[in-house]
Amino acid sequence: MQTKTIEIDKLMKAVQIKEEHANIVMNQAKIIKEDVETSVRDNLDEKKIKAMQGIMNNPPEKIKLIVQAVNCLNPVQGQQ
């Protein structure tokens, strides 16, 4: 009976250590997320974003030709 109790205690300690490690990782992830959000908020200009959206929705003719040429050179990529 004592052997089982000792094994259970060891397992509980191992779980506690893993939980503490997971909490540390989660806290670090939250800090990184906040840093990224702040950086994005500080560095992105709404006018630039709208301009980029316009280009993405209707790219210039030269870009269309380049993309078509790349697709011709690597047709397998487009079939996946």
Q: Which run of H or of E encompasses 18?
A: helix 2-43
Render pLDDT for 39-74 as a digit per residue (tens, 0 to 9). 878 887 777 777 777 777 788 888 888 888 888 887
| Average pLDDT of the residues in 34-43 | 84
Which pLDDT band, with edges at 50, 70 and 90, does 19 fall under?
very high
Alpha-carbon dihedral 62, 67, 68, 70, rounded to 10 degrees: 130
| Average pLDDT of the residues in 28-45 | 86
Q: What pLDDT shows up at residue 60?
A: 83
Alpha-carbon dihedral 9, 12, 17, 18, rounded to 10 degrees: 150
Radius of gyration (C-alpha) of the chain in whole angstroms: 26
